[in-house]
Amino acid sequence: MSFKMEDDPELFNVAIKILDAFIADYKSEEHFRELEGPLISEQETEQFFNRYIEELGLQDFLTLKFTPHAVAQTSITHSGSSKKSKIIIQTPVDYTESRIWGTMHHEIGTHYLRRLNERKQVWFKNRTSYQMQDFLATEEGLACINQQLEHTLNGKYGRSTLRLKPYLFRQALYYWLCHMAKTRSFVEIFNALEKYISSPERRWKYVLRVKRGLTDTSQPGGFFKDQCYLKGAYTILRHRNIIDFKELYCGKIAVEDLVAISLEEKSVELVSPLNDLPSFMKDMDGYMAAIEEIAEVNLIPVLFD
């Protein structure tokens, strides 16, 4: 699948503001990672994931697999021949206690639960007939927002002595990288990235991510899918005062579809997710306060006052 670079000056400016604010507060990504605390063990990682899965009652649907051959730190694979989906965790593990909660909110509390609820909707396996929109930006944007919950005042670690702000730093950085890749070479991006990432090794990995797939990385161009993270988060946070976040859990639904359904511009009746909601939504007032905090830290105002 190819992804076209989108020229959106507004989003690029948002990315720059987030990056500059983050650097002003934490100096570098490496310093922020140090402040997150010590890494946990593989055994502790397994315990965290199993408790999270059990709390949601998903033991019959999810299983863990640790492997040094994983491309991503964490991912979920689905097999039509198996009842259970696999959570693939790269070893050696790279989680702190707060980071693992964010990962679980992202992968299980967002991606997996929305996939589970998608099966209950009338458009399941028939999205085109119901004119359902591309959900990728909403999907990834919501997951990235939820990943920051533990850095808010309502998160498990938000009231600790050390308060880390819920910046959408990596999402903004991905957008910045895509913007740079459109006109610059691997080396040019690598050098410019030093402003935000001091570690040469981590800079190399970031630039490799956006330049992957090119036969000649000295030429402009790149893999632009990573724009969707900031684009989706920004769209959701801009509409946060008119979105019913529980309805976003009705399936793989885009913000645009949710708005169209609420305005009765689309004749689709949503099946409520009922019990298939993440634990962090048990206290919706607390969740919405966290959403507001994430928006404010990332300088994202509401679209409609």
Q: Supply the pTM of this predicted model.
A: 0.93
Summarize the confidence of residues 111-133 as an average pLDDT. 93
Catalytic residue among 36, 107, 140, 293: 107
Domain contains 255: yes
Backbone dihedral region for residue 274 (phi beyond 0: left; psi -120 to 50: alpha; all else: beta) = left
Is residue 257, in this structure, part of any structural domain at all?
yes
**Domain span at residue 221?**
9-37+132-297
CA-closest candidate to residue 75, choices 54, 99, 104, 48: 104
**Which tokens in the block code for residue 140?**
């990834």
85-89 contact pairs (CB < 8 A, 24+): 85/61, 85/112, 86/62, 87/49, 87/62, 87/63, 89/45, 89/49, 89/64, 89/65
> Is 99 a member of any domain?
no
Number of domains, the chain: 1
DSSP H or E run through 44: helix 42-55
Reported as a single tens digit per residue, the pLDDT across 55-107 is 999 999 999 999 999 988 999 998 766 678 999 999 999 999 889 999 999 99
Asked whether residue 155 is assigned to any structural domain, the reply reads yes
Q: pLDDT value at position 159?
A: 47
Q: Is 42 part of the annotated catalytic residue set?
A: no
Residue 167: inside a domain: yes
Residue 268 has pLDDT above 70, yes or no: yes
The CA angle 204-209-210, to the nearest 5 degrees, is 105
Flag whether 146 is in a domain: yes
In whole angstroms, give the CA distance from residue 275 to residue 216.
50
Q: Do the domain assignments include residue 96?
A: no
